[in-house]
Structure 1
Amino acid sequence: MKFYRLFFLSIVIITGASAKAQQSPVKVKFPVLGKNDTIRVASTNEDGEMIPWIPLNEVVIYGYRIFKSPEERAAYNRLRYNVMKVMPYALYAKRRYEQLEKDLALAEDKKLQKKLVKQCDKEIKDMFNREIKELTISQGQILTKLIDRELGRTTYEIVKETKGGITAFLYQSVARVVGHNLKSKYNPSEERDIESIILSSGFYQ
């Protein structure tokens, strides 16, 4: 019996010594620092060698566009000016109508829903009377397309959902007189210049 106890004790001692030998720390090699190396950085242990690294911000590279003529460059610059002028209005409309949809979803009372729609309509009209009415026909056309881009619905569809089909028809009739179309849709493949201007504008940063 004593022999078996001694035998098992010997196995435990040998196994423990072997495990201890395997767990011996691996010598890590750190880079040699110079006198100006004072900035702390992250590092990764790569097979015993510490590799320093620094995370970098994303770098977006845009191609330099070459225009065929000064007239084409002027037309592009004019388009860029118009897009940059109306884009804030499209983003405002997006935020306001998204908020309206959330408020309507939480409001079960019909009177409260009408009040919310009326309030949103008043805010849009106030902005129209204050700023948007000064837009040119070209800027107005771009704005209706950008609203469709941001909301996934045309201006006509938004008015129809919030104010009804008759009001939407009246708004569309007035818009057509001054050269606008509330049913204008946005197609990125057809509006490549506008899409390029928006993506490089910094509005989504």
Structure 2
Amino acid sequence: MKYSCFFILLIVILAITKVNAQETTTPAIYPVLGKNDTIRVAATNDNGYMIPWIGLNEVVINGNRIWKSPQEKAYFNRLRYNVLKVMPYALFAKRRYEQLERELSTTNDKKEQKKLVKACDAEIKQMFNTEIKELTITQGQILTKLIDREVGRTTYDIVKQTKGGFAAFSYQLVARVVGHNLKTTYSATEDRDIESIIVNSGYYQ
């Protein structure tokens, strides 16, 4: 039984090798070009025939939203204002956190790493003291979600990694007092209105 299985496997391997050899030795058939066919395009070999093709940019089609009530429209417009208000801060957090990770990866010296983390923390605190502290509770909650969306980690996880578990726990206690939750995550499905606003905001064009 073992020898028969080995024999069958050998036949399959030889058959595959033969097919591959035929594919590589068979000359490709290209389409006949006209005098105006001067644009170079990609092509795919389909059983010996070269099929030309051109990649197109993604086209997003959005329909006009029908509001159930003036209140629903007013809510969405307010949400849009809040999202666009805090989106630059989320993008800043993303860039600064990515920069910190790159800098930390260049050194194994603990003192140098602490210095880099401290510099990042000071920069974020400066922005907080000048701008973020003026945000409303709703805007702060949205910002927490957007940081998770952009960085791929919650604010709590970021603080825990850079400043330690006790600092993250302490920050979370303070945040909960004023109605925030640093562990808030983002879901493109559950937060579809926010996702729609971001997609149509022009930030990623």
* TM-score bucket of the superposed structures, by smaller chain: 0.7 to 0.9
1:90 aligns with 2:102: no
Could you say which residue in structure 1 is the equivalent of 2:188? 188
Could you say which residue in structure 1 is the equivalent of 2:201? 201
State how 1:122-201 maps to structure 2 within 5 Å. 122-201=122-201
State how 1:1-40 maps to structure 2 within 5 Å. none
Could you say which residue in structure 2 is the equivalent of 1:75? 75
- Cα-to-partner distance string for 1:124-181 (whole Å, 9 max, x where unaligned): 0000001000000000000001101111110000000000011001100111111100
Displacement of 1:109: 1.2
- Cα-to-partner distance string for 1:55-93 (whole Å, 9 max, x where unaligned): 997653211001011000000000000000111100100
Q: Which has the larger radius of gyration?
A: 1
User: 1:181 corresponds to which letter in structure 2?
Assistant: N
Could you say which residue in structure 2 is the equivalent of 1:64? 64
Closer/same/farther in 2, CA of residues 66 and 101 from structure 1, 3 Å limit: same
Greater displacement, 113-122 / 101-110: 101-110
Displacement of 1:28: 5.8
CA distance in 1, matches of 2:136, 2:176: 14
Closer/same/farther in 2, CA of residues 107 and 71 from structure 1, 3 Å limit: same
> In the comparison of the two structures, how many residue pairs are matched?
162
Closer/same/farther in 2, CA of residues 29 and 99 from structure 1, 3 Å limit: closer
CA distance in 2, matches of 1:126, 1:148: 21
Could you tell me the percent identity over the aligned residues? 72
Give the CA RMSD over aligned residues: 2.4
Could you say which residue in structure 1 is the equivalent of 2:117? 117
Greater displacement, 56-65 / 170-179: 56-65
User: 1:83 corresponds to which letter in structure 2?
Assistant: V
CA distance in 2, matches of 1:27, 1:188: 47
Could you say which residue in structure 2 is the equivalent of 1:10? none
Closer/same/farther in 2, CA of residues 163 and 43 from structure 1, 3 Å limit: closer
User: 1:146 corresponds to which letter in structure 2?
Assistant: L
Closer/same/farther in 2, CA of residues 70 and 107 from structure 1, 3 Å limit: same
CA distance in 2, matches of 1:169, 1:29: 71
User: 2:156 corresponds to which letter in structure 1?
Assistant: Y
Closer/same/farther in 2, CA of residues 73 and 173 from structure 1, 3 Å limit: same
CA distance in 1, matches of 2:33, 2:187: 61
User: 1:151 corresponds to which letter in structure 2?
Assistant: V
Displacement of 1:27: 11
Could you say which residue in structure 2 is the equivalent of 1:104? 104
CA distance in 2, matches of 1:28, 1:177: 73
Closer/same/farther in 2, CA of residues 43 and 122 from structure 1, 3 Å limit: closer
